[in-house]
């Protein structure tokens, strides 16, 4: 499956960055694209790149096996057309579906003079700033990755770095059906309740506008 990428915005400063809108995609082809772009970035064949998209229903399992907790059988999930993918990013199980905005930065951290901890804080900041434009105040929670509104989680993070180049990223719940999270223990955190921008405000989020806003935030941080 090929993935159509449309340029959302581009910087040609001393820190070039291109942000693409990848539409709504299956998870596996997007993972393949990330891995391809990581190798190209390591080789210096492309500039720093950000992919913004939605995923069809899928559950991803992270590198921390103790945090990969499924609450439904794989057979039943398959019947519900929910894909399950075992990947090597940080964190535990999480869920994706349309209406959730996902961002995958393919960034050479050395080119940005960033350490991994600083990068993760900036990745969190992209979600904080996007949600702020929707009149939602999201916060970090010490020891609990992601973004939170009180005790409810609105965004999940999972990061992998290869030879200073990042992939995977952040998933922010905007309009998505939250019932998909009932199939897992999100990120292995017991009794966590997921929320979304729509649930918090009662308003449907304009996804295309949110994509453009997120692209501008990425440019401000990394270009």
- The pTM of the full predicted model, rounded to 2 decimals, is 0.92
**187 near 174, Cβ under 8 Å?**
no
Average pLDDT along the chain: 91
Is residue 57 predicted with pLDDT exceeding 60?
A: yes
Active site residue 22: no
Nearest to 199 by CA among 144, 146, 131: 131
The residues near 169 (Cβ < 8 Å, ≥ 6 apart) are 102, 103, 104, 105, 123, 157, 158, 159
CATH number of 6-222: 3.30.930.10
Q: What is the mean pLDDT of residues 14-24?
A: 96
pLDDT at 187: 62
From CA 145, how far away is CA 5, in angstroms rounded? 29
Nearest to 165 by CA among 69, 70, 42, 62: 42
**91 near 156, Cβ under 8 Å?**
yes
Q: pLDDT by residue (tens digit) across 61-92? A: 876 666 666 766 677 766 677 888 887 676 67
Catalytic residue among 149, 187, 194, 215: 187
């Amino acid at each position: 499956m090929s993935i159509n990428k449309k340029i959302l915005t581009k910087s040609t400063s001393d820190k070039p960055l291109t942000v693409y809108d990848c539409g709504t995609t299956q998870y596996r082809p997007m993972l393949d694209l990330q891995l391809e772009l990581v190798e190209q970035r390591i080789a210096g064949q492309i500039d720093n790149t950000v992919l913004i998209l939605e995923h069809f229903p899928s559950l991803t399992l992270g590198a921390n096996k103790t945090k990969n907790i499924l609450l439904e059988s794989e057979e039943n999930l398959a019947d519900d057309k929910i894909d399950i993918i075992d990947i090597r990013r940080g964190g535990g199980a999480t869920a994706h579906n349309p209406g959730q905005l996902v961002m995958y930065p393919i960034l050479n951290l050395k080119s940005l003079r960033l350490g991994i901890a600083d990068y993760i804080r900036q990745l969190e900041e992209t979600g904080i700033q996007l949600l702020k434009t929707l009149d939602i105040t999201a916060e970090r929670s010490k020891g609990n990755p992601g973004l939170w509104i009180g005790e409810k989680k609105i965004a999940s993070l999972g990061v992998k770095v290869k030879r200073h180049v990042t992939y995977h990223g952040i998933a922010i719940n905007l309009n998505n059906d939250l019932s998909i999270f009932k199939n897992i223990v999100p990120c292995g955190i017991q009794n966590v309740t997921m929320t979304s921008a729509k649930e918090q405000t009662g308003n449907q989020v304009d996804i295309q506008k949110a994509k453009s806003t997120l692209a501008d935030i990425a440019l401000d941080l990394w270009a």
